[in-house]
Chains A and B, each alone.
Chain A
């Protein structure tokens, strides 16, 4: 991954990351500004300190988390860069770029997720000491305690009720809201990230993010209010998550979602690589190919089917990939691997306890002819259904049994396929037990980027119980007014 700006940078602001000064462009996120400066390692993974960078386009993955102005573990892809901002990498020594602690990765074969349960019992006199040391390796963000006084001011509670609540202001959500408005219903639409044009007959709440589904009540947070929304019908138009290929090395900085690359080139004038491999099918990949050509990127390989990607190489950034071409494996030198696969966003479906089913290698909601889930008050539209053609993957990934032992299943906790398989082989066959034994799905992303891979490798159709909140929420943002 070798990123550079291809459009002139206007309205620049200055900020620092790990003590070094950078320039960004007003209106872009901290993560994009760092990428444009070719600063690609933004965080280190929890267990093995693997380098991670900007990967997804949804705010769902957490690979770009760093400390921002003293607040720990903030997703830098959701922070607008601004003058004087101070950011720091976390969980690394001396820095996320050069992290000596990543040496622990060399021994990862011998450090299964439960390794400490079989060690550190003798001698007895050192037992506490062992755990003190272990505790040093835990943790991530830094909590700033000095200079605090009193609770934050709090957000007022706003109770809303409508016939229809649409969650998500993308094309599918807007279409669903418009249809419902034409039928004369009262409608609320909430959207967390993008801007939504005013819609006739629809109460649009922008910058309002859903926190959870609580027995049919949808809780959401805006800048100054907490919403408790009840509706006869909740329509989840929550789109899809980017689905990282299930191959070894796919968590390196330089493996990025197609939608993100399109956005980087078209909106931010940032070209994230010179030698590119396109992986997957569908409109996302086609759009990237077009943009790369316009931008005059050097070499473009592919697109190849996802199943033809064998491995990604590189240390701090991608340097190559192994693909199957003409029936033979070959290694190609690339600095950017762009993947187009997505999987439906099941957040609301799982939170409501609605049924899911497997289609190919993908779990999708069980829906009736009009898009209702098995929870009658919850419907799903758009790519969240997992049925809208080639934009979400269905059967294009490697067959579950074929995933390489070293393929990373859960990125937050660095859980590889062989570790999931070891638990199954040891008799911990219930997905809930596999989750607890390996830590898979328990990290900050709460399974957003790994649920599908987990289900594939564990060979299960039932997944561990989803828990609120849907996204990490600052405790201070939940405070009610005094």
Chain B
């Protein structure tokens, strides 16, 4: 039961023109719309091929993690987490920001040494992560008892949110605060981009043409398709990720757990008690694909019951798939591109869209309205790649890549988003 309601925010009538057209009503598009409204921008139209939050925004597990592998990204992630911490009050809608705790669980002793340096870095910049001994790891995360012997864990007081609530919070905020300045047109597929000498001229859609001088590509897994329509080159590749969820159980797992050996896998328990989990397929090939697979179920069962044998008893009730939009350095593309006037990117999130989206689109709105690039945004310049650069291993093992590249390069933050 909505207290506010969406009023006429969602419509099936596409306006003939707009100040800016945002493609994608996911976290990037909705958060950007909200930030533009806060800065007095009018005449915003958001189009989406399905319904708001129907892509990766509604398919992820919304871990809001401040601790990252590199200093630069940890700084940004701290700001992102703080933004979520404020989101409830700012939007008048509780998105269930909850500090569940987050742990990288380690199974090899050389990993422990590697993590020791990272924990020191965290402490330097104000993240109070802790390196746990094997005993303390099992004490804090009893679910791992009886499983593969652990070498330790890095634990931090990180959070989860309710991903759908983040979408609704933005929708209801826009419906209340911008009833006449924002229109969201769902079930609308972009078919072509008209460009002229001066830049973007219009967006052609399944519902007709809309004239505009500015377009934000917030299309997630479909961003490369959209960039291609505008003849804008960007190296993003869509990559499937799968998730399963169990019947709700009483509180039995503390901390959101991630491990990287032998494959990347992760699980955590939601506030309702369901356990969400997944094991990544290192052979996954790039492409738009939201189909669930049987192989995922078996792969996940095999690895999870090795790491946490008690999970053998849980009942899987649903599985689904969503898409990462992966860039070569696993960092998003956020900003205007020099390739086409009026073309703005907010994509390539590489699995971190929920975390980074609200904060980086705030910086992007700053850039959009003032023309000045906030210092933190510079690292995400969409034109930072060579013209023919492609993700060298879009489906690869990010952590392996990180290990190979040691010492950690300043920009690359190779862990995936969870």
Whether B250 lies near A142 (C-beta < 8 A) is yes
> In the complex, what distance in Å separates the CA atom of A70 from the CA atom of B310?
11
Tell me how far the C-beta of A144 lies from the nearest C-beta in chain B, rounded to whole angstroms: 6
> In the complex, what distance in Å separates the CA atom of A162 from the CA atom of B220?
40
Q: Is B249 an interface residue (CB 8 A)?
A: yes
> In the complex, what distance in Å separates the CA atom of A436 from the CA atom of B2?
13
Q: Is B302 an interface residue (CB 8 A)?
A: yes
Residues A46 and B292 in contact in the complex (CB < 8 Å), given A131-B271, A138-B272, A430-B186: no
Tell me how far the C-beta of B182 lies from the nearest C-beta in chain A, rounded to whole angstroms: 13
Whether B98 lies near A128 (C-beta < 8 A) is yes
Query: In the complex, which of the residues A140, A469, A480 contacts B248, with contact meaning CB atoms closer than 8 Å?
Result: A140
Q: Is A119 an interface residue (CB 8 A)?
A: yes
Q: Is B199 an interface residue (CB 8 A)?
A: no
Question: Of A369-377, A391-399, A418-426, which stretch is located at the interface?
Answer: A418-426
Tell me how far the C-beta of A432 lies from the nearest C-beta in chain B, rounded to whole angstroms: 5
Query: In the complex, which of the residues A145, A157, A423, A444 contacts B315, with contact meaning CB atoms closer than 8 Å?
Result: A444
Q: Is B195 an interface residue (CB 8 A)?
A: no
Q: Is A200 an interface residue (CB 8 A)?
A: no
Residues A145 and B1 in contact in the complex (CB < 8 Å), given A128-B99, A427-B175: no
Tell me how far the C-beta of B360 lies from the nearest C-beta in chain A, rounded to whole angstroms: 24
**Once A and B bind, how many residue pairs between them come within 8 Å at the CB atom?**
225
Whether B1 lies near A419 (C-beta < 8 A) is yes
> In the complex, what distance in Å separates the CA atom of A138 from the CA atom of B275?
12
Query: In the complex, which of the residues A142, A147, A437, A473 contacts B168, with contact meaning CB atoms closer than 8 Å?
Result: A437
Question: Of B209-217, B293-301, B392-400, which stretch is located at the interface?
Answer: B293-301
> In the complex, what distance in Å separates the CA atom of A140 from the CA atom of B302?
25
Whether A423 lies near B250 (C-beta < 8 A) is no
Whether A148 lies near B146 (C-beta < 8 A) is yes
Chain B residue with the shortest CB-CB distance to A121: B88
Residues A143 and B250 in contact in the complex (CB < 8 Å), given A121-B89, A476-B301, A479-B302: yes
Would you list which residues of chain B between 284 and 337 have a CB under 8 Å from chain A? Answer: 291-294, 297-298, 300-302, 304-306, 309-320
Q: Is B189 an interface residue (CB 8 A)?
A: no
Whether B2 lies near A480 (C-beta < 8 A) is no
> In the complex, what distance in Å separates the CA atom of A46 from the CA atom of B175?
31
Residues A219 and B294 in contact in the complex (CB < 8 Å), given A436-B164, A472-B315: yes
Would you list which residues of chain B between 171 and 197 have a CB under 8 Å from chain A? Answer: 175, 186
Residues A467 and B301 in contact in the complex (CB < 8 Å), given A139-B251, A215-B291: no
Whether B312 lies near A214 (C-beta < 8 A) is no
Residues A475 and B312 in contact in the complex (CB < 8 Å), given A219-B294, A427-B175: yes
Whether A433 lies near B52 (C-beta < 8 A) is yes
Q: Is B228 an interface residue (CB 8 A)?
A: no
Tell me how far the C-beta of A113 lies from the nearest C-beta in chain B, rounded to whole angstroms: 7
- For residue A143, which residues in chain B have a CB less than 8 angstroms away from its CB? 143, 249-250, 252, 310-311, 313-314
Whether B316 lies near A149 (C-beta < 8 A) is no
Query: In the complex, which of the residues B96, B99, B249, B317 contacts A139, with contact meaning CB atoms closer than 8 Å?
Result: B249
Whether B51 lies near A433 (C-beta < 8 A) is yes
Whether B145 lies near A145 (C-beta < 8 A) is yes
- For residue A219, which residues in chain B have a CB less than 8 angstroms away from its CB? 294, 297
Whether A145 lies near B250 (C-beta < 8 A) is no
Whether B1 lies near A474 (C-beta < 8 A) is no
> In the complex, what distance in Å separates the CA atom of A115 from the CA atom of B250?
21
Whether B9 lies near A71 (C-beta < 8 A) is no
Chain A residue with the shortest CB-CB distance to B145: A145
Q: Is A388 an interface residue (CB 8 A)?
A: no
- For residue B2, which residues in chain A have a CB less than 8 angstroms away from its CB? 114, 422-423, 426-428, 437
Whether B247 lies near A472 (C-beta < 8 A) is yes
> In the complex, what distance in Å separates the CA atom of A473 from the CA atom of B319?
11
Contact mask A57-73 → B, CB, 8 Å, 1/0? 00000000000001111
- For residue A478, which residues in chain B have a CB less than 8 angstroms away from its CB? 297-298, 300-301, 316
Query: In the complex, which of the residues A151, A226, A423 contacts B306, with contact meaning CB atoms closer than 8 Å?
Result: A151
Tell me how far the C-beta of B250 lies from the nearest C-beta in chain A, rounded to whole angstroms: 4
Q: Is A201 an interface residue (CB 8 A)?
A: no
> In the complex, what distance in Å separates the CA atom of A474 from the CA atom of B316?
6
- For residue B5, which residues in chain A have a CB less than 8 angstroms away from its CB? 425-427
Q: Is A211 an interface residue (CB 8 A)?
A: yes
- For residue A479, which residues in chain B have a CB less than 8 angstroms away from its CB? 298, 301-302, 305, 312
Tell me how far the C-beta of A325 lies from the nearest C-beta in chain B, rounded to whole angstroms: 35
> In the complex, what distance in Å separates the CA atom of A147 from the CA atom of B312?
13
> In the complex, what distance in Å separates the CA atom of A473 from the CA atom of B244?
11
Tell me how far the C-beta of A416 lies from the nearest C-beta in chain B, rounded to whole angstroms: 11
Whether B315 lies near A426 (C-beta < 8 A) is no
- For residue A131, which residues in chain B have a CB less than 8 angstroms away from its CB? 96, 98, 271
> In the complex, what distance in Å separates the CA atom of A116 from the CA atom of B1?
11
Residues A139 and B272 in contact in the complex (CB < 8 Å), given A214-B294, A228-B294, A472-B317: yes
Contact mask B66-100 → A, CB, 8 Å, 1/0? 00000000000000000000001100011111110
> In the complex, what distance in Å separates the CA atom of A54 from the CA atom of B168?
37
Tell me how far the C-beta of A259 lies from the nearest C-beta in chain B, rounded to whole angstroms: 25
Tell me how far the C-beta of A411 lies from the nearest C-beta in chain B, rounded to whole angstroms: 14
- For residue A437, which residues in chain B have a CB less than 8 angstroms away from its CB? 2, 164, 168
Chain A residue with the shortest CB-CB distance to B312: A476
Whether A114 lies near B250 (C-beta < 8 A) is no
Tell me how far the C-beta of B188 lies from the nearest C-beta in chain A, rounded to whole angstroms: 13
Contact mask B234-265 → A, CB, 8 Å, 1/0? 00000000000011111110000000000000
- For residue B358, which residues in chain A have a CB less than 8 angstroms away from its CB? none
Tell me how far the C-beta of B353 lies from the nearest C-beta in chain A, rounded to whole angstroms: 18
- For residue B319, which residues in chain A have a CB less than 8 angstroms away from its CB? 467-469
Chain A residue with the shortest CB-CB distance to B10: A427
Contact mask A139-174 → B, CB, 8 Å, 1/0? 111111111111110100100000000000000000
- For residue A332, which residues in chain B have a CB less than 8 angstroms away from its CB? none
Q: Is B408 an interface residue (CB 8 A)?
A: no
Tell me how far the C-beta of B333 lies from the nearest C-beta in chain A, rounded to whole angstroms: 28
Q: Is A20 an interface residue (CB 8 A)?
A: no
- For residue A154, which residues in chain B have a CB less than 8 angstroms away from its CB? 302
Tell me how far the C-beta of A439 lies from the nearest C-beta in chain B, rounded to whole angstroms: 9
- For residue A267, which residues in chain B have a CB less than 8 angstroms away from its CB? none
Chain A residue with the shortest CB-CB distance to B270: A138
- For residue B246, which residues in chain A have a CB less than 8 angstroms away from its CB? 475
Query: In the complex, which of the residues B50, B164, B175, B251 contacts A135, with contact meaning CB atoms closer than 8 Å?
Result: B251
Whether B247 lies near A72 (C-beta < 8 A) is yes
Of the listed residues A212, A437, A478, the one surrounded by the most CB atoms of chain B closer than 10 A to its CB is: A478
Q: Is B134 an interface residue (CB 8 A)?
A: no
Whether B249 lies near A140 (C-beta < 8 A) is yes
Contact mask A360-373 → B, CB, 8 Å, 1/0? 00000000000000
Of the listed residues B10, B50, B247, the one surrounded by the most CB atoms of chain A closer than 10 A to its CB is: B247
Whether B292 lies near A467 (C-beta < 8 A) is yes
List 25 A–B pairs whose Cβ atoms lie within 8 Å, in order of A's numbering.
A117-B94, A117-B168, A117-B169, A121-B89, A121-B94, A138-B250, A138-B251, A142-B249, A145-B143, A145-B146, A148-B309, A149-B309, A150-B146, A150-B309, A211-B294, A228-B294, A422-B2, A423-B1, A427-B175, A432-B54, A473-B315, A474-B312, A476-B312, A477-B301, A479-B312
> Besides the contacts A72-B313, A475-B316, what 8 more A-B pairs have beta carbons closer than 8 Å?
A70-B313, A134-B271, A145-B146, A427-B7, A436-B53, A468-B294, A474-B314, A478-B300
- Taking Cβ atoms with an 8 Å cutoff, the residues of B that contact A are 1-7, 9-10, 50-54, 58, 88-89, 93-99, 142-143, 145-147, 162, 164-165, 168-169, 175, 186, 246-252, 270-273, 291-294, 297-298, 300-302, 304-306, 309-320
Q: State the 7 A-B residue pairs at the shortest beta-carbon distance, nearest first.
A: A476-B312, A427-B6, A139-B273, A112-B1, A426-B2, A478-B301, A139-B250
